[in-house]
Amino acid sequence: MLAPRRPTSRAGWTWSAALAAVLVVVPVAMLATSVLRPDTQLWRDQWRTRLPGELVDTTLLLVGVGAGSIVLGAGLAWLVSAYRFPGSRVFGWMLILPLAIPSYILGFLTLSTFGRTGPVQDQWRDWFGLDAWFPRIESVGGAVIAFTLVLYPYVYLLTRAALRDQAAGAYHAARILGAGPTEAARRVVFPLVRPAVAAGAAVVMMETLTDFATVQYFGVDTVSVGVFNIWRGQYDRDGASEIATLVLGFALLVIGLERVARGRARFGQSGGAGAGITARTLEGWRRWAATGVCGAVVFVAFIGPVLRLSAWAIAEQRSDRGTPLVDQYPEYLMNSLQIVVITVTICLVVAIVLANAQRFGNPAVTRLSSRAVAVGYAVPGPVVGIGVLLAMVAADDALEAIGLNLPGVVATGSLLVLAYAYAIRFLAPGLGAIESGIGQVSEEMTASARSLGATPLQTVRRVHVPLSRASIASAAVLVGVDALKELPIVLLLRPLGFDTLPVWVYDLASESRFQQAALPALSIIAVALVPVALLTRGLDRRV
Amino acid sequence: MHHSSHPNDVPPPRRRRPIGRRVALGALAAAAALVATSCGGGGDTLVVYSGRHYNIEAAFEQYTEETGVELEFLTGNDAELREKLAVEGDETPADVYITVDAGNLAAAAEQGLFQPLESDVLQSAIPAELSDSEGRWYGLTLRARTIVYNPDLLAADEVPTTYEELAEPEWDGRLCMRNASNVYQQSLVASLIAHHGEDEALRIVRGWADNAEIFSNDVLILEAINDGLCEVGVTNHYYLGRELDENPEFNVALAWANQDDRGVHVNISGGGVTAAADKPDEAQAFLEWLATDGQEVLVAGNHEYPANPDVPADPLIATEFGTLDDFVRDPLEATVFGALNPDAIRLMDEAGYG
Amino acid sequence: MHALELAHVTKRFGDVVAVDDVSLTLGEHEVLALVGPSGCGKSTLLRAIAGLHSIDAGTIALGRQMVDDGHHHVVAPERRRVGLVFQEHALFPHLTVADNIAFGVRAEPAPARAAEMLELVGMERYADRYPHELSGGERQRVALARALAPRPALMLLDEPFASLDTNLRARVRDDVMDILRSTGTPAVFVTHDQHDALAIGDRVAVLKAGAVVQVGDPVEVFHQPVDRFVASFLGEADFSTWQAVTSDFGPLDRTTSLPPGEPAPDATVMTRPDDVTFVAADDGAAVVEHAEFRGTEWCYTLRLPSGTRARSLRSHLERVDVGQRVRASLNPGHLPVVLRD
Q: Looking at the partner chain, which of C53, C74, C84 has a beta carbon nearest the beta carbon of A448?
A: C84
Q: What is the mean pLDDT of residues A447-473?
A: 89
Q: Are A288 and A294 within 8 A, CB to CB? A: no
Q: What is the mean pLDDT of residues A500-513?
A: 82
In C, which residues are within 8 Å of B4 by CB distance? 88, 163
Average pLDDT, chain A: 83
pLDDT tens per residue across span B129-151? 899 999 999 999 999 999 999 99
pLDDT tens per residue across span C24-41? 999 988 999 999 988 888
What lies within 8 Å, CB to CB, of B320 at 6+ separation is: B240, B241, B244, B254
pLDDT of residue B3: 42
Q: Looking at the partner chain, which of B6, B13, B75 has a beta carbon nearest the beta carbon of A273?
A: B6
pLDDT of residue C88: 82
User: Are B7 and C88 a contacting pair at CB < 8 A?
Assistant: yes
Predicted confidence band of residue C289 (pLDDT cuts 50, 70, 90): very high
Predicted confidence band of residue B16 (pLDDT cuts 50, 70, 90): very low
pLDDT tens per residue across span C36-60? 988 888 999 999 999 888 899 999 9
Average pLDDT, chain B: 86
Worst-scoring range by mean pLDDT, B30-44, B152-166, B167-181, B231-245? B30-44
Answer whether residue B13 shows pLDDT above 80: no
Q: What is the mean pLDDT of residues A55-82?
A: 94
Predicted confidence band of residue C259 (pLDDT cuts 50, 70, 90): low
pLDDT of residue A459: 92
pLDDT of residue C215: 93
pLDDT tens per residue across span B315-335? 999 999 999 889 999 999 888
pLDDT of residue A324: 58
The whole-angstrom separation of Cα A530 and Cα B319 is 49
| Element spanning A376, H or E | none
More confident residue, A505 or A73: A73
Predicted confidence band of residue A33 (pLDDT cuts 50, 70, 90): confident
pLDDT tens per residue across span A192-235? 788 888 888 988 999 999 888 889 889 898 988 888 888 878 88
Answer whether residue B1 shows pLDDT above 50: no
User: Are C93 and B4 a contacting pair at CB < 8 A?
Assistant: no
User: Are C147 and A442 a contacting pair at CB < 8 A?
Assistant: no
More confident residue, B5 or A494: A494
Predicted confidence band of residue A542 (pLDDT cuts 50, 70, 90): very low
| Element spanning A148, H or E | helix A140-162
CA dihedral B313, B316, B320, B321 (to 10 degrees): -30
Predicted confidence band of residue B39 (pLDDT cuts 50, 70, 90): very low
Picking from A10, A446, A451 by the largest number of C CB atoms within 10 A of its own CB, the best residue to mutate is A451
Picking from C97, C132, C138, C165 by the largest number of B CB atoms within 10 A of its own CB, the best residue to mutate is C132
Query: C201-230 burial, b if ≥16 CB within 10 A, otherwise e?
Result: bbbbbbbbebbbbbbbebeebbbebbbebb
Worst-scoring range by mean pLDDT, A430-434, B2-6, B319-323, B349-353? B2-6
A456-485 residues touching C, CB cutoff 8 A: 458, 462-463, 466-467
More confident residue, A420 or A271: A420
Q: What is the mean pLDDT of residues A141-162?
A: 90
Q: Cα angle at A100 between A99 and A101, to 5 degrees?
A: 95
| Element spanning C335, H or E | none
User: Are A5 and C72 a contacting pair at CB < 8 A?
Assistant: yes
pLDDT of residue B31: 47
The whole-angstrom separation of Cα C205 and Cα C214 is 6
pLDDT of residue A343: 93
pLDDT tens per residue across span A409-426? 455 567 888 999 999 999
Chain B with chain C: Cβ pairs closer than 8 A: 28
Answer whether residue C137 shows pLDDT above 60: yes
pLDDT of residue B6: 41
User: Are B12 and C139 a contacting pair at CB < 8 A?
Assistant: no
pLDDT of residue A410: 53
Q: What is the mean pLDDT of residues A480-505?
A: 85
Answer whether residue B30 shows pLDDT above 90: no
More confident residue, B277 or C265: B277
Residue C90, min C-alpha distance to chain B (Å):
7
Predicted confidence band of residue C251 (pLDDT cuts 50, 70, 90): confident
Residue A505, burial from CB neighbour count under 10 angstroms (0-12, 13-18, 19+): buried
pLDDT of residue A64: 97
pLDDT of residue A27: 87
Residue B273, min C-alpha distance to chain A (Å):
17
The residue length of chain B stands at: 354
pLDDT of residue A331: 86
Q: Are C189 and C26 within 8 A, CB to CB? A: no
Q: What is the mean pLDDT of residues B42-71?
A: 86
Q: What is the mean pLDDT of residues B93-117?
A: 93
Q: Looking at the partner chain, which of A4, A8, A448 has a beta carbon nearest the beta carbon of C90?
A: A448
- Residue B353, Cβ neighbours under 10 Å: how many? 22
pLDDT tens per residue across span B153-198? 999 899 999 999 999 999 999 999 999 988 899 999 999 999 999 9
More confident residue, A118 or A208: A208
User: Are C52 and A444 a contacting pair at CB < 8 A?
Assistant: no
pLDDT of residue A541: 52
Q: Which other chains touch chain C, taking contact as 3+ CB pairs less than 8 Å apart?
A: A, B
Sheet holding C309-315, edge to edge: C276-280, C325-330, C286-293, C297-303, C309-315
Q: What percent of chain C has pLDDT over 90?
A: 43
Closest Cα partner for B80 from A238, A386, C45? A386
Q: What is the mean pLDDT of residues A57-82?
A: 94
Answer whether residue A515 shows pLDDT above 60: yes
Average pLDDT, chain C: 88
User: Are C92 and A449 a contacting pair at CB < 8 A?
Assistant: yes
Residue C114 Ramachandran class (φ > 0 left, ψ -120 to 50 alpha, else beta): alpha
Answer whether residue A116 shows pLDDT above 50: yes
pLDDT of residue B42: 46
Closest Cα partner for B265 from B273, B254, B256? B256
User: Are C132 and B12 a contacting pair at CB < 8 A?
Assistant: yes
Q: What is the mean pLDDT of residues A474-501?
A: 85
More confident residue, B37 or A125: A125
Predicted confidence band of residue A323 (pLDDT cuts 50, 70, 90): low
Q: Are A379 and A398 within 8 A, CB to CB? A: no
In C, which residues are within 8 Å of B16 by CB distance? none
Predicted confidence band of residue A261 (pLDDT cuts 50, 70, 90): confident
pLDDT of residue B37: 41
Picking from A232, A341, A344, A465 by the largest number of B CB atoms within 10 A of its own CB, the best residue to mutate is A232
More confident residue, C318 or C307: C307
Q: What DSSP letter does each residue of A335-362 carry, written as one string?
A: HHHHHHHHHHHHHHHHHHHHHHHHHHS-
Q: What is the mean pLDDT of residues C292-313?
A: 91
Q: What percent of chain B has pLDDT over 90?
A: 63
pLDDT of residue A407: 56
CA dihedral C202, C206, C211, C215 (to 10 degrees): -40
Q: Are B309 and B151 within 8 A, CB to CB? A: no
Picking from C12, C62, C78 by the largest number of A CB atoms within 10 A of its own CB, the best residue to mutate is C78
User: Are B91 and A115 a contacting pair at CB < 8 A?
Assistant: no
pLDDT of residue C246: 83
Q: Are A367 and A13 within 8 A, CB to CB? A: no
Chain C contact for B8, CB < 8 A?
yes
